[in-house]
Amino acid sequence: MTGRISRDGAKSDVLVSIEHVVKEFKVRSARLFARTKDIVHAVSDVTLDIRRGETLALVGETGCGKSTLARCVVRLHDLTSGRIIFDGQDISSASERAMRPVRRRMQMIFQDPYGSLNPRRRVGSIIGDPFEIHDLARGDERIRQVRHLMELVGLNPEHLNRFPGDFSGGQRQRVGIARALALRPDLMVCDEPVSALDVSIQAQILNLLGDLQEELGLTYLFISHDLSVVRHVSDRVAVMYLGTVVEVAPVHALYTHPRHPYTNALLSAMPIRAAERAGDRTEVILAGDPPSPMDPPSGCRFHPRCPRAQARCAIETPVLTRRLHDASEHVTACHFPLADGESLVSEAPAMALS
C-alpha cells in the first residue's frame, strides 16, 4: 500500500489510516437453542488509506460492509479489532472525551434525507448545533455563521426558521451538508448521499460536493453502490465484497481494466449512457447463492460465485497486492485476475459452495 503513516506527527499525505479493522456484531437468534456463534462478520480485516484531499470511493452491494466500515472510521461503532489512525493519532479505542476534539475534524452525511434531520427542530437550530456543542459561537454570531453555511450549500438563509418537513429531499441533504461543514472538518464521510434522491437532483448535490471540496480542501470517503455516480466524483475506488476489500485502484484504471472478477461483474451491470458502447456490452450475471455475512465462505469470499475459481481459491485467501503489470496504486485480491480487455461472460460458478 502506498502512503506513509507519519510517526512523528508531521503532516503526511495520509489523513486516515485504516489498519486490519474487523467489526463483528453479535446477533440474538430467534431460535430457542441458539448456536453460540451467531455473529455477523460485517467487516473482516480491512486495511486502507485515505489520502488528504482525495475522494476515495467505497463501493459494493448492500451488505458488503461499506457503511459499517465508514461508521468505524468515525467511531460511531467501536472496533472489534484493528486500528484507525486519524492524522497520526490512534483513535481506535479513544474515550468519548478524547474523541471530542477529533470529532470536529471528521463529519458524515447520511443517506436518508428524511431521517437525518430531527423533524421537531428548526433547520437553523440543527445547523447551529455544532457551534453550540463545541461552544464556538453564540447568539448573533452563531446566526451569522448559520446563514453563511446555508448560502454555502445553496439554501436561502431566510428559511432557517423552517422545519425539515418544509424542504424537499435535495434541500434536506443540503442542510445535512451544512451541518457537517459547520466545524470545518478535514474528512467528510458521505454515506450514499445521493442514493435516495431523484436523478436530476443527484447531479446538483454531487456538483455541490465537488465545489465544496475545492473551496474548503475537504477529503471525502464516498460510499455508494452506484458505480456510475462514483466514476465522476472519485480519485480512487475501493471495491468491497462481503466485508473485505477486493480491489483498490485509481478511478480511470478501475473502469478501463478492472482486475477482480467481482469488479468486472459490477461494472457490467452499470447502466451505460454512451450509446456507442451499449452494443458490445454483455452483462455478467453472477450465479450461485448470495452469501451470508454470518457464515462467509472460506478462502476468497467470492469463490462460490466466481466463474474463474479454482481449488486454491477456497483455501488460500488472496492478498491485496499488485497484479499483472499494474501500477503500485492498483491492487487486487485475486489469484486469477482478469487481464486487460478480458471480461467474464455468463458462466456457471466454477466452484459452488457445497
Residue that has been written with the C-alpha cell 465545489 in this structure: 211
How many residues appear in the chain?
354
Residues in region 29-58 near other proteins by CB under 8 A? 30, 32
- The helix (run of H) or strand (run of E) holding residue 197 is none
Q: Kindly state whether residue 236 participates in binding other proteins, applying the rule CB under 8 A.
A: no
Q: How far is CA 157 from CA 116, 131, 160, 216, 338, in A?
A: 20, 17, 6, 20, 52
Q: Kindly state whether residue 105 participates in binding other proteins, applying the rule CB under 8 A.
A: no
Q: Kindly state whether residue 244 participates in binding other proteins, applying the rule CB under 8 A.
A: no
The closest of 65, 68, 80, 63 to 291, measured between CA atoms, is 63
| Closest separation in Å from C-beta 326 to other proteins | 36
State the CB neighbour count (10 A cutoff) for residue 348.
Answer: 10
Only segment of 25-33, 44-52, 238-246, 336-344 that touches other proteins (CB under 8 A):
25-33
- Candidates 183, 190, 237, 286: give the one binding other proteins (CB under 8 A): 183
Cell numbers that stand for 172 in this block? 434536506
Query: Rounded distance, CA 307 to CA 347, Å?
Result: 6
Q: Kindly state whether residue 241 participates in binding other proteins, applying the rule CB under 8 A.
A: no
| Closest separation in Å from C-beta 108 to other proteins | 6
* Residue (37 or 120) nearer to other proteins, CB: 120
Are the beta carbons of 320 and 335 closer than 8 angstroms? Answer: no
Q: Kindly state whether residue 117 participates in binding other proteins, applying the rule CB under 8 A.
A: yes
| Closest separation in Å from C-beta 303 to other proteins | 35
DSSP state of 322: E
Residues 6+ apart with CB under 8 A from 9: 88
Q: Kindly state whether residue 159 participates in binding other proteins, applying the rule CB under 8 A.
A: yes
* Residue (110 or 336) nearer to other proteins, CB: 110
Query: Rounded distance, CA 36 to CA 279, Å?
Result: 52
The closest of 322, 319, 323, 314 to 333, measured between CA atoms, is 319
Instruction: Render 277-311 in DSSP notation, one character per residue.
Output: HHTT-------SPPP-TTSPPSSSTTGGG-TT--H
Q: Identify the sign of the CA torsion 218, 219, 220, 221.
A: negative
Only segment of 46-54, 113-121, 261-269, 308-316 that touches other proteins (CB under 8 A):
113-121
Only segment of 59-67, 158-166, 236-244, 270-278 that touches other proteins (CB under 8 A):
158-166
* Residue (32 or 275) nearer to other proteins, CB: 32
Query: Rounded distance, CA 78 to CA 225, Å?
Result: 24
| Closest separation in Å from C-beta 135 to other proteins | 11
Q: Kindly state whether residue 224 participates in binding other proteins, applying the rule CB under 8 A.
A: no
Q: Kindly state whether residue 168 participates in binding other proteins, applying the rule CB under 8 A.
A: yes
- Candidates 15, 43, 74, 152: give the one binding other proteins (CB under 8 A): 74
Q: Kindly state whether residue 137 participates in binding other proteins, applying the rule CB under 8 A.
A: no
Q: Kindly state whether residue 231 participates in binding other proteins, applying the rule CB under 8 A.
A: no
- Candidates 2, 27, 81, 115: give the one binding other proteins (CB under 8 A): 115
- Candidates 83, 147, 162, 231: give the one binding other proteins (CB under 8 A): 162
Q: Kindly state whether residue 93 participates in binding other proteins, applying the rule CB under 8 A.
A: no
Q: How far is CA 301 from CA 31, 286, 294, 308, 312, in A?
A: 27, 14, 12, 13, 12
Footprint on this chain of other proteins (rule: CB under 8 A): 28, 30, 32, 74, 76, 96, 99-100, 103-104, 107-108, 110-112, 115-122, 126, 129-130, 133-134, 154-156, 159, 162-163, 165-168, 170-171, 174, 176, 179, 183
